[in-house]
A and B are shown apart, each in its own frame.
Chain A
Amino acid sequence: MNRKAVCWIGAIAFAAFVGGCSSNSSNTGQEQPAASSAKKTVDMSTVGSVSGTIKLDGAAPKYKAINMSADPYCVKANHGGVMPQEVVTGDGGTLANVVVYVKSGAEDYSFPTPTDSVTLDQKGCMYTPHVVALMVGQQLSVVNSDDTTHNIHPTPTDNREWNKSQPPKAPAITDTFARPEVAIPVKCNVHPWMKSYIAVMANPFYAVTDKDGKFELKNLPPGTYTIEAWQEKYGTQDQSVTIGAKEAKSGVDFTFKAGS
């Protein structure tokens, strides 16, 4: 093998090496944004809000009072009986217990997990509130104000299932949910009628309507969002909303059809 050939080979090898390096570097360059998990934080100076009302179109279904005779304490606990809270309407057909939240559009933001805990009380053999919403990782604390033993049994699809019993005067049961889910049904196997929902949210832009059906999502950075309203019986509706900086958009209303 003569000297020339050696040179050639050397040259080719070097070129290949350099090429390899350069291509690598270029790749990493492209990946940069995707790879980095750094998310934007909300800039409080530009935030706006969205508000509206939830209505029920048509007559709310008629319910019979719950028969609590299974547990005498419960009967005693609330005289006159209670209604199921599946559909609760205010005057003018405003709809309560509806979870309104930003379904998409806020993925690029990171939000601190709230430190305060959301409380789900068991009073008079009913869950109060009927629907609670909290953020991923936020603490849920379940208390038992009754003189009878309850058990709290969330039956999620995406989250971990658990089932704990809580005797009267027992310390609050606390737990967190790791994955956004709307909404996790909660039941009490001792009192079959007891039912509640836990909405686990990916972002802090959510609200649960009251009897007046009003909601407001505050501190929304400008942008376009899909806002969804969830009701345990009538399912979900959503609409897309775009807000500018410091804009307070109102009248983002949802109307569920009775009987739908």
Chain B
Amino acid sequence: MPELQPDDPIKSRSYANVILIAIFILLLCVSWSFYQEFIGLRPWRSYQSRFATSYSAYLQKQVRDRQAQEKTVESSADYQKLSAALQQAEATATPQDQQIKVQSDLVDAQRAAILHAFQEDRSRVGSLIYDYETIPNDAANRSDKQSGLKAVQEAEKKTYSIDWPEEGGKTVTKTFNYDQLNNTFNQLLDEKAQLTAKQGDIDKPVKDAQTAMAALIANKLPGLDADQLNGLLKSVRDMDVSLIQINVNPPGTQINDIGGVGLTDRCQSCHVGMEPKYVPAALTLTKADLGLQKSTDAPFTSHPDQDLFNWHPLDQFGCSPCHGGNGRALDSVELAHGRYEHWVWPLYYPENYQAGCQQCHSADAWTEHAPVLNEAKVLYRDRGCIGCHNYAGFDNQGEQLQETIREIASLEKEKADDNQQIPLLNKQGDQAPDNATAQRLYAQATNLTVSVSKIDGRVQQLDELSHSLQQEVKRVGPDLKEVRMKLNPEWIPYWLGHTWNFDPTAQMPQFRLQPDEVQAISAFIWQQGLKGPALDKQTPGDAAHGKELFNSLGCLACHSIGEGSQKIGGDIADNLSREGEKANYNYIVRWIHNPRVRTEPYCPFEHKDIGPEDYAKHNLPYVFDADHSKCPNDGHELVVQQQTIMPDFRLSWQEARDIASFLMTQKDASARYEPASFVNNAKLYDKGRTLVEHYGCAGCHEISGLEDASKIGTDLTQEGSKPIGRFDFALLYTKAQEGVLPDGQKSRAGGWYDPKGFFDAKLADPAVFDEGKYKPDPLDRLRMPKPNVTPEQINALTSFLLGSTQSTLPPSYQYAPTDQRKAIQEGWWIVTKYNCIGCHQIDIGQKTVLMGLPQYQGDNAINLPPVLTSEGARVNPEWLKGFLANPALSTTDTDRDGVRSYLKVRMPTFFLSDDEIRKLVLFFGALSSQQQPFIPEKLAPLTDTERALARGIFTSPAAPCLKCHATGNANHDKNATAPNFLLAGQRLRAPWTERWITEPATIIPGTAMPSGLFVQQNGRWVFNGALPAAAKNYAGDEANLLVRYLMELTPQEQAALAGSTPSAAKSGSSSVKK
């Protein structure tokens, strides 16, 4: 029996405190949520207000400076002069203006005075006249008619008395009848018109003065003026902190969106500097401008490359499509930049921004404003990535060829079917029950025959295409079939094992090979090489002369020579500093004389090299080249050239020997090679073959038996959008997530468990992902070799790969032009493929390799190859076709440059395929926006007087044309520095030539061609120098005259003027005619 409790626990217990505390906490939570709502989850608000303050400070400063500048300008002499003129003009104008004003006021007053009376009277009379006219004109109504007429007449007589204003403000009362009102009114209108016109005349000088003033200010003080700046300042001052967003939603858009919402970018909410409303394009903001250099968190700068917005309008593209990131997110920087696990399109790191371009510009070989990307694409080809890794649309002539062959086959089949069908139809026709059916069937048969013939046409086209493609297939590495003729066997193993010791700038990557693997591969390569026929024995040449040629011909545009800091030249072909150690003289001579010469053609269809015996079987001569490229056995396209891009410099055998001799002198005296007898060890053959296939050597090299080996690497076309889980970080997984780099350093960007991190690491050292793995068999290890690339180049390639995505942008955003730009797009592939840009400047501002060479510095820049920025406008495309096919412009005299024989550097023969030539011609045309097809300008033939005058200009001491321009006469051309005029007729285009001779510097800055030969005189070019008296009364355009003269210049004429025998010139011209 427990003792009873005094009072009821439930009743007595007080909850006051508990509830109080609970409510207090509740309130805390509520305030917390308010904080989150307005500040915590809205970081952009603080950004905007920060921007507003610093930016308005900047603007104030700008305004002040601007005003100061305007002051100084106003104090400047010419401004004074202008303002004086202005005042003076105004001074003269004002009194007259006033006078006029008085008069026009008076006129207005008078008009106002009579206006009412005039309108009333006119309407009154008008109505009466109407009544009169509508009364029928017959006997019955004669009396009414007359009364009506009378009424009208009286109405016209009616007078109005008007107080009429006059000069001096006094008014008189005048009376007007109908006619007077009319006349006075019209007359007043005339007066008014006259007065206005007069005023215009008087004010004209003032207006002119004002415009002149404005022009002066505009050119002295470009940019926004004080008022505009103040306007901006105002808009910033009362800028309401609010979310700024771009919202585009093209139909079917998928721009980095979830659920087809389209593009919604709110980046400008923090990056306020990108908002044109506040920072117009004319203004570029840097952190320094805003005084925020120190700040690491000031996203206020304006876009560094404003030009991009010309093609990518901000309001259509936004930010995230190019830069990545989560355009919608606003809660935090991390979320907005998409730098978290679940955002598939994180913001690219600044060094990879150009990856964004690749998303849409993957079809470009050369994208303007994207130098990193362009470098990457050159590397992808020249470092041999393409040898193992397929990339859609990248140098895919091989696949195209297969495709073409397949298409031909299918067409042939179609044709066969049709040919079967035709007789059947005819037969049915013969047996048809009635004539109508018969006719229909016969018609069908006839149509089929026509379509068959069309198929034939298509097939023909495809044959030509395949011919072209077969020529276009190139390989990065040299042809290993000819290894026996070319190389010392001792050198091969050394090269395989120590590639970069031999050539630190080698294109060939360093493979991870065991010594035995090296031996096996060397042996296989060596035993697989062609055994013969033996090369012609070459006598030694003159190395000194060879060196001179080597340095001047343009070899250095692709090849480099000299080691370390001594190295000069291009990187797309190998360094020749130690050529002498590896190569066989006879072979090098043949190679230099024409690198495209093959020992034996290869038939892709039969998969074998075609020897003389095959030709003999069909008693054909053993001739194979671009024009004889059909297989004697089965008529398929042969590989008739070395698959190298190295062109033919059309050198004489002697010159070839000289250069070869020079190259043979290039060796490292200290180098020693162990004897490599094992290369002939047949036991190693099989192992070697396995290895060669395993490492995909045939991707870059032509190797007997492996010509059609497929690429061993991953297809990289969409590598950038591979899910992160698919990248095998192997044992580096945790390291990557913790941001520890393979070398143990802490990664600057924190964790690198992302595609960028993978690419960077992989390119730096592909073997790194084998780290810590147990792989006793070398064949199990990752086989990707180490590419020879600098950190910058790695970064370029990474950007390229990151951009290689399965784009989420709608097709309309992809850069796939169909107009002239397509020609440009296609052209760049060829231009970069053959390294035209190594010698020629094609893109404005683009640097060539040769420009960098010591021998072209200073005045010697004149010896550089021609600048091609305006080639399309300059030359006749028909001619260009011929020139590209045969730059010597001659079939007989080929050891020269067809146009600029005076230049040491020479345009070589690239054996371009017809297709490539076609594309190049269109490319140059498109670059200078020329219409296709080309229709030559019509030039009026010269009259005798004109010819005389033109001759006068041509020979005038003021324009010593033939001083520099070649004539084809040897001893004259010794110091010629410009092309032969005899080419002009076929080569040049009149409009360009005219611009050229008048102001060449605007077309090619720094050209040797002097400007100012002609001067503008009231709308026509006039020769700037002494001319025969006859010229005085020539009214035409003299520049145009000279052009026409040049266009029909004959060898004889030129020779006569040059005072030399025309013979040489003739040969020149005749060869041109070809």
Is A bound to B? yes
Among residues of B, the one whose C-beta sits closest to the C-beta of A160 is B442
| Cβ-defined contact, B435 with A179, below 8 A | yes
Report the Cα distance A158→B434, complex, angstroms: 9
Enumerate A135-171 residues with CB–CB distance to B below 8 Å. Answer: 157-161
Report the Cα distance A161→B429, complex, angstroms: 12
Report the Cα distance A122→B435, complex, angstroms: 30
Question: Could you tell me the distance in whole angstroms from the C-beta of B779 to the nearest C-beta in chain A?
Answer: 69
Across-interface contacts of A252 in B (CB, < 8 A): none
Among residues of A, the one whose C-beta sits closest to the C-beta of B435 is A158
Confirm or deny: B426 has a beta carbon within 8 angstroms of a beta carbon on chain A: yes
The one of B426, B431, B438, B445 that contacts A158, using a Cβ cutoff of 8 Å:
B438
Enumerate B419-462 residues with CB–CB distance to A below 8 Å. Answer: 426, 429-432, 435, 438-439, 442, 445-446
Question: At the interface, is chain B mostly helix, strand, loop or mixed?
Answer: helix
Confirm or deny: A47 has a beta carbon within 8 angstroms of a beta carbon on chain B: no
| Cβ-defined contact, A160 with B426, below 8 A | yes
Confirm or deny: A82 has a beta carbon within 8 angstroms of a beta carbon on chain B: no
Confirm or deny: A178 has a beta carbon within 8 angstroms of a beta carbon on chain B: yes
Report the Cα distance A157→B442, complex, angstroms: 10
Across-interface contacts of A178 in B (CB, < 8 A): 429-431, 438
Report the Cα distance A160→B439, complex, angstroms: 8
Among residues of B, the one whose C-beta sits closest to the C-beta of A137 is B430
Among residues of B, the one whose C-beta sits closest to the C-beta of A181 is B435
Report the Cα distance A179→B434, complex, angstroms: 9
Among residues of A, the one whose C-beta sits closest to the C-beta of B426 is A160
Question: Could you tell me the distance in whole angstroms from the C-beta of B738 to the nearest C-beta in chain A?
Answer: 83
Question: Could you tell me the distance in whole angstroms from the C-beta of B227 to the nearest C-beta in chain A?
Answer: 84
Question: Could you tell me the distance in whole angstroms from the C-beta of B183 to the nearest C-beta in chain A?
Answer: 82
Question: Could you tell me the distance in whole angstroms from the C-beta of B242 to the nearest C-beta in chain A?
Answer: 80
Across-interface contacts of A157 in B (CB, < 8 A): 435, 439
Report the Cα distance A3→B438, complex, angstroms: 63
Question: Could you tell me the distance in whole angstroms from the C-beta of A85 to the nearest C-beta in chain B?
Answer: 28
Report the Cα distance A178→B432, complex, angstroms: 10
Across-interface contacts of B430 in A (CB, < 8 A): 160, 178-179
Across-interface contacts of B432 in A (CB, < 8 A): 179
Question: Could you tell me the distance in whole angstroms from the C-beta of A103 to the nearest C-beta in chain B?
Answer: 15
Across-interface contacts of A161 in B (CB, < 8 A): 442, 446
Across-interface contacts of B435 in A (CB, < 8 A): 157-158, 179
Question: Could you tell me the distance in whole angstroms from the C-beta of A35 to the nearest C-beta in chain B?
Answer: 15
Across-interface contacts of B426 in A (CB, < 8 A): 160
Question: Could you tell me the distance in whole angstroms from the C-beta of A78 to the nearest C-beta in chain B?
Answer: 36
Across-interface contacts of B446 in A (CB, < 8 A): 161
Report the Cα distance A179→B426, complex, angstroms: 12
Across-interface contacts of A158 in B (CB, < 8 A): 435, 438-439
Interface string of A185-203 (1 = CB under 8 A from B): 0000000000000000000
Report the Cα distance A190→B105, complex, angstroms: 92
Across-interface contacts of A160 in B (CB, < 8 A): 426, 429-430, 442, 445
Question: Could you tell me the distance in whole angstroms from the C-beta of B432 to the nearest C-beta in chain A?
Answer: 8
Report the Cα distance A161→B439, complex, angstroms: 10
Across-interface contacts of B438 in A (CB, < 8 A): 158-159, 178-179
Among residues of B, the one whose C-beta sits closest to the C-beta of A136 is B430
Report the Cα distance A159→B445, complex, angstroms: 12
Report the Cα distance A196→B202, complex, angstroms: 92
Question: Could you tell me the distance in whole angstroms from the C-beta of B26 to the nearest C-beta in chain A?
Answer: 79
Among residues of A, the one whose C-beta sits closest to the C-beta of B446 is A161
Report the Cα distance A178→B431, complex, angstroms: 8
Report the Cα distance A170→B429, complex, angstroms: 30
Report the Cα distance A178→B426, complex, angstroms: 10
Report the Cα distance A178→B441, complex, angstroms: 13
Report the Cα distance A179→B446, complex, angstroms: 17
Report the Cα distance A178→B429, complex, angstroms: 8
Question: Could you tell me the distance in whole angstroms from the C-beta of A201 to the nearest C-beta in chain B?
Answer: 15
Report the Cα distance A54→B1046, complex, angstroms: 81
Question: Could you tell me the distance in whole angstroms from the C-beta of A245 to the nearest C-beta in chain B?
Answer: 32
Across-interface contacts of A179 in B (CB, < 8 A): 430, 432, 435, 438
Report the Cα distance A159→B430, complex, angstroms: 8
Across-interface contacts of A159 in B (CB, < 8 A): 438, 442
The residue in B426, B431, B439, B446 that gathers the most chain A C-beta atoms within 10 A of its C-beta is B439
Among residues of A, the one whose C-beta sits closest to the C-beta of B431 is A178
Question: Could you tell me the distance in whole angstroms from the C-beta of A137 to the nearest C-beta in chain B?
Answer: 9
Across-interface contacts of B439 in A (CB, < 8 A): 157-158
Report the Cα distance A68→B1074, complex, angstroms: 45
Question: Could you tell me the distance in whole angstroms from the C-beta of A129 to the nearest C-beta in chain B?
Answer: 25
Question: Could you tell me the distance in whole angstroms from the C-beta of B447 to the nearest C-beta in chain A?
Answer: 13
Question: Could you tell me the distance in whole angstroms from the C-beta of A198 to the nearest C-beta in chain B?
Answer: 16
Across-interface contacts of B429 in A (CB, < 8 A): 160, 178
Question: Could you tell me the distance in whole angstroms from the C-beta of A113 to the nearest C-beta in chain B?
Answer: 13
Report the Cα distance A157→B435, complex, angstroms: 9
Question: Could you tell me the distance in whole angstroms from the C-beta of A159 to the nearest C-beta in chain B?
Answer: 8
Report the Cα distance A179→B439, complex, angstroms: 11
Interface string of A93-127 (1 = CB under 8 A from B): 00000000000000000000000000000000000
Report the Cα distance A139→B439, complex, angstroms: 21
Question: Could you tell me the distance in whole angstroms from the C-beta of B450 to the nearest C-beta in chain A?
Answer: 14
Enumerate B390-438 residues with CB–CB distance to A below 8 Å. Answer: 426, 429-432, 435, 438
Question: Could you tell me the distance in whole angstroms from the C-beta of A138 to the nearest C-beta in chain B?
Answer: 14
Report the Cα distance A159→B435, complex, angstroms: 8
Among residues of B, the one whose C-beta sits closest to the C-beta of A176 is B430
Enumerate B441-492 residues with CB–CB distance to A below 8 Å. Answer: 442, 445-446
Question: Could you tell me the distance in whole angstroms from the C-beta of B453 to the nearest C-beta in chain A?
Answer: 15
Question: Could you tell me the distance in whole angstroms from the C-beta of B445 to the nearest C-beta in chain A?
Answer: 8
Report the Cα distance A158→B430, complex, angstroms: 9
Report the Cα distance A161→B432, complex, angstroms: 16
Report the Cα distance A178→B433, complex, angstroms: 12
Report the Cα distance A157→B432, complex, angstroms: 14
Question: Could you tell me the distance in whole angstroms from the C-beta of B1 to the nearest C-beta in chain A?
Answer: 87
Question: Could you tell me the distance in whole angstroms from the C-beta of A160 to the nearest C-beta in chain B?
Answer: 5
Report the Cα distance A179→B429, complex, angstroms: 9
Report the Cα distance A158→B439, complex, angstroms: 6
Report the Cα distance A178→B430, complex, angstroms: 5
Among residues of B, the one whose C-beta sits closest to the C-beta of A179 is B438
Question: Could you tell me the distance in whole angstroms from the C-beta of A39 to the nearest C-beta in chain B?
Answer: 16
Report the Cα distance A65→B430, complex, angstroms: 40
Interface string of A37-66 (1 = CB under 8 A from B): 000000000000000000000000000000
Report the Cα distance A174→B347, complex, angstroms: 81
Report the Cα distance A178→B437, complex, angstroms: 13
Interface string of B976-1018 (1 = CB under 8 A from A): 0000000000000000000000000000000000000000000
Report the Cα distance A159→B426, complex, angstroms: 10
Question: Could you tell me the distance in whole angstroms from the C-beta of A183 to the nearest C-beta in chain B?
Answer: 15
Report the Cα distance A216→B430, complex, angstroms: 29
Report the Cα distance A45→B91, complex, angstroms: 133
Question: Could you tell me the distance in whole angstroms from the C-beta of B63 to the nearest C-beta in chain A?
Answer: 89
Question: Could you tell me the distance in whole angstroms from the C-beta of B560 to the nearest C-beta in chain A?
Answer: 67
Report the Cα distance A216→B731, complex, angstroms: 109
Across-interface contacts of B445 in A (CB, < 8 A): 160
Enumerate A189-227 residues with CB–CB distance to B below 8 Å. Answer: none
Across-interface contacts of B431 in A (CB, < 8 A): 178
Question: Could you tell me the distance in whole angstroms from the C-beta of A200 to the nearest C-beta in chain B?
Answer: 12
Report the Cα distance A161→B438, complex, angstroms: 12
Report the Cα distance A179→B442, complex, angstroms: 12
Question: Could you tell me the distance in whole angstroms from the C-beta of A181 to the nearest C-beta in chain B?
Answer: 8
Question: Could you tell me the distance in whole angstroms from the C-beta of A243 to the nearest C-beta in chain B?
Answer: 29
Interface string of B316-333 (1 = CB under 8 A from A): 000000000000000000
What are 17 A-B contacts defined by CB distance under 8 Å?
Answer: A157-B439, A158-B438, A159-B438, A159-B442, A160-B426, A160-B429, A160-B430, A160-B442, A161-B442, A161-B446, A178-B429, A178-B430, A178-B431, A179-B430, A179-B432, A179-B435, A179-B438
Q: A159-B442, A178-B430 are in contact. List 17 more A-B contacts (CB 8 A).
A: A157-B435, A157-B439, A158-B435, A158-B438, A158-B439, A159-B438, A160-B426, A160-B429, A160-B430, A160-B445, A178-B429, A178-B431, A178-B438, A179-B430, A179-B432, A179-B435, A179-B438
Nearest first, the 3 closest Cβ-Cβ pairs linking A and B are A178-B430, A158-B435, A160-B442
Residues of B within 8 A of A (CB): 426, 429-432, 435, 438-439, 442, 445-446
